[in-house]
Amino acid sequence: MASPPPAAAAALARQDCNNGCSAECTGEGGSKEVVETFKAEDLIITPATVLKEKPDPNTLVFGTVFTDHMLTVEWSSEFGWEKPHIKPLQNLSLHPGSSAFHYAVEPSLGVKKPTKALLFVILSPVGPYFSSGSFNPVSLWANPKYVRAWKGGTGDCKMGGNYGSSLFAQCEAMDNACQQVLWLYGEDNQITEVGTMNLFLYWINEDGEEELATPPLDGIILPGVTRQSILDLAHKWGEFKVSERYLTMDDLNTAVEENRVREMFGSGTACVVCPVSNILYKGETIHIPTMENGPKLASRILDKLTDIQYGREESDWTITVS
């Protein structure tokens, strides 16, 4: 799980100080110790007394098995960040409306800036997303009547509020025998994201160039780490044009008709890459020949990224922790 930036949290705490409402600046009032760091030497460890049986790695279902321990760090506007604590995994009651995988735990009801929050890290061993190494392509439902994110909103942050409201469209996609929503935006039906994944189109563009394209980070796109990794890899390979650019449903339709589309895939931490085979749009199914084309590029990216993740390949992205 991505770690929220401690510096930002500290800045938030300081901002509260500037508003004149916090004890830690003045050193007055609070009896609790203020830590404001995530140093290993501050770590409190409370081991679980009973350990669970280790699961069979061959039958792991994504996101259902958890480790015996979790990490929590509490924050309050009064005391800032407290000491990090590794303790037995426990149930949490959370307020996901004010969340950024970084939860508000205010014991009150009301819409306001939280005065208390909890950072927690839970770990879950997973098997490969696509078992037996073969891709299962997804079909997408594209309907401009729902938008996932908008300019000036929070679509570019992993905020809980973005996800609850997307479930309705997801249900409608499933009612239409599609697995995921292809999120569109604007009058020209720009293609933005797939479900909770970023989106890539590998095609011959309108100028006849071989191109890997993904929408730009203009405020409505979640800046996924997998997205950035794919862009960085593709730039490094230098074999085709790599662009952050707008793509519309018209661009896609024309390219499909002219046989210029090679692959379309989503990207995210869970699956790494997820090939797209069909899009249901305005009552018609547009077939995307991702699987017929290998998918050569999607497979190459999956292999490369998992080799780096499993340490089978050297990379300057890998940091050894001793």
- Could you list the residues that contact ligand PLP (CB under 6 A)? 158, 193, 196-198, 222, 224-227, 267-269
CB of 15 to ligand PLP, least distance (A): 26
For residue 113, give Cα distances in angstroms to 96, 135, 196. 13, 43, 26
Nearer to ligand PLP, 74 or 193 (CB): 193
Nearer to ligand PLP, 32 or 158 (CB): 158
Radius of gyration of the chain from Cα atoms?
22
Nearer to ligand PLP, 13 or 247 (CB): 247
Nearer to ligand PLP, 22 or 143 (CB): 143
CB of 14 to ligand PLP, least distance (A): 28
Closest C-alpha among 70, 96, 226 to residue 162: 96
Closest C-alpha among 204, 223, 180 to residue 263: 204
Q: Residue for token digits 């000036």?
A: 152
Do 124 and 66 form a contact (C-beta atoms < 8 A)? yes
CB of 165 to ligand PLP, least distance (A): 12
CB of 202 to ligand PLP, least distance (A): 17
CB of 306 to ligand PLP, least distance (A): 14
196/274 Cα distance (integer angstroms):
11
For residue 148, give Cα distances in angstroms to 6, 59, 186, 253, 321. 28, 33, 11, 22, 38
CB of 115 to ligand PLP, least distance (A): 26
CB of 242 to ligand PLP, least distance (A): 17
CB of 82 to ligand PLP, least distance (A): 27
Nearer to ligand PLP, 71 or 197 (CB): 197
Nearer to ligand PLP, 153 or 289 (CB): 153
Which residue's CB comes closest to ligand PLP?
224
Structure tokens at 86: 């590794």
Closest C-alpha among 237, 239, 233, 231 to residue 215: 231
Nearer to ligand PLP, 29 or 219 (CB): 219
16/33 Cα distance (integer angstroms):
17
Nearer to ligand PLP, 85 or 245 (CB): 245
71/85 Cα distance (integer angstroms):
6
- List CB contacts of 13: < 8 A, sequence separation 6 or more: 22, 24, 36, 75, 77, 80, 81
Do 173 and 133 form a contact (C-beta atoms < 8 A)? no
